[in-house]
Amino acid sequence: MADTFRITLGQLNPTVGDIDGNAAKARAAWEAGRDAKADMVALPELFITGYNAQDLMMKPAFHTAAIEAVKALAVDCADGPTLAIGCPWVEGTELFNAYLICRGGRIVSRVLKHHLPNETVFDEVRVFDAGPLGGPYSVGNARVGSPICEDAWHEDVAETLQETGAEFLLVPNGSPYYRDKMETRLNQMVARVVETGLPLIYLNMVGGQDDQVFDGASFALNPGGKLAMRMPVMTEAITHVDLERGPDGWRVVEAEIAPQPDEWEQDYHVMVVALRDYMAKTGFKKALLGMSGGVDSALVATIAADAIGPENVRCVMLPSEYTSPESLEDAEACAKALGCHYDYVPIAEGRAAITNTLAPLFEGKEPGLTEENIQSRLRGLLLMAMSNKFGEMLLTTGNKSEVAVGYATIYGDMAGGYNPIKDMYKTRVFTTCEWRNANHRDWMMGNAGTVIPQRIITKPPSAELRDDQKDSDSLPDYPELDAILDILVDQDGSIADCVAAGFARETAQKVERLLFLSEYKRFQSAPGARLTKHAFWLDRRYPIVNRWRDKS
């Protein structure tokens, strides 16, 4: 009879800083593993603290509390399977990103992360010291190698583990989503399997933390790179994975392979999870937003309804004399289709009072952008008043195109606590609205069917701050703008690259100028769900004061 080994994988959603809560989740996973007669229960990277804790991790009281919590867990979980959990670890004056192996009431082994990522949203070189290349640890009848997250993206760690006796690899991760990330992960892990000849189990955490969403989708590979099992995306799950040892070593017993949704569904799911967890982890139960009758606020309202339930979402129409009848109709129709609360709060009286107050100072000056911005800022004032009064989080509704070029009013429509569509270009907003109208999933708390009226999707975009205003009066048409922004932001390209792609130099230079001038707005903007490797915040860090312009 072949040797067997069972690992219980806890693909779970920790909360940064909630050490007691995270320990309780770990204990529940361990109990599930014990009941399933597992040999080992595994949790993701830095699970006890939550990830990414950034500079909080360096606070001595914090990382000391985390280590003590794992020591207490080890005692609680003494009688049963080995527990493996991510935790900071201190040796002398050095702080490490560690994976702690607990058995018999104590920590019996620890793995120290060797390669510290220092790119995109990661800044681990700032926080941690690099551990040495190490060997495997023993659990029952197996020798397990655990490259921690980034360590599995490099050949040397897995190679050293294989050479020092590891029989299979268990990779604990805090790996956040970006579009097409699963394919990138899979390619990297297949490479490790081919190089070492060892089976590999990739365990990822799940859930939202600030702008990042950890998308789960944990999986296992057998030698040759064949996928043996995969857990669901964006969903907490505890799964028991069996291995059998035959003449050629350990092999993962093939099990369910959860489907991998397409990029449109994954992006939408990320925005829902990001908002749901941001609100839950900050203590908000209800949300509100300004409902303009436009496509962006309609999509944000839909995401909010799917994240926390339509009964917990307040949509507020704040019309001025420039608001079209179509926008009034569309905003109300969308709110009703979603099943959200709808309020109608005209701003004419408040705007008149502000205009009269400023009239002596502005005498002799032509009306213009200032007066347009007063409308937006008055709406922001009223929405924040409602947020304060009702205890509802205000959501902002600017898409990535607008956030990039500053086509939003600071302290106006930029006011709020979270922006679900911050990393989604306008052209993708339109397509995502169509996708949501055509699709409904069981993780969506909102209504099925056409919840965003078609006219909202098809009418020309407008801020409606003056007569007959269109976004295209101030900006290139969105397909052109988004294509240029993709080159300048997502590809980190140049003006010359834009020209080579067929865009007018003057247009590309205008977009670049707006991009740089808007840095101060982004610095003060609400966080939002990260969908790409070039989201505005930790992925792309530019100075606010910047007089450089690309002359290529």
Q: Which segments are annotated as binding site for L-glutamine?
A: 175, 181
Residue 501: CB partners within 8 Å, gap ≥ 6? 483, 487
- Nearest-angstrom CA–CA distance, 20 and 36: 24
- Nearest-angstrom CA–CA distance, 537 and 122: 12
- Interaxial angle between packed helices 295-308 and 426-438, expressed in degrees from 0 to 180 and rounded to the nearest 10: 50
Residue 421: CB partners within 8 Å, gap ≥ 6? 271, 296, 299, 300, 303, 397, 398, 399, 400, 429, 528, 529
Contact between 307 and 275 under an 8 Å Cβ cutoff? The reply is yes
DSSP code of residue 152: G
What tokens does 230 get?
Answer: 């995969």
Q: Which of 45, 167, 265, 392 is catalytic?
A: 45
Whether 45 is a known active-site residue: answer yes
Q: Which residues are annotated as a binding site for ATP?
A: 290-297, 397
Q: Which of 25, 87, 113, 426 is catalytic?
A: 113
Q: Which residues are annotated as a binding site?
A: 175, 181, 290-297, 373, 397, 402, 521
User: Is 384 exposed, middle or buried (CB count within 10 Å of its CB: 0-12, 13-18, 19+)?
Assistant: middle
Whether 91 is a known active-site residue: answer no
What is the residue-wise DSSP string for 51-110? S--GGGGG-HHHHHHHHHHHHHHHHHT-SSSEEEEEEEEEETTEEEEEEEEEETTEEEEE
Whether 366 is a known active-site residue: answer no
- Strand 393-394's sheet: what is its strand order? 341-344, 313-317, 287-290, 393-394
- Nearest-angstrom CA–CA distance, 155 and 134: 13
- Nearest-angstrom CA–CA distance, 538 and 533: 10
Q: Which of 87, 102, 149, 340 is catalytic?
A: 149
Catalytic residues: 45, 113, 149
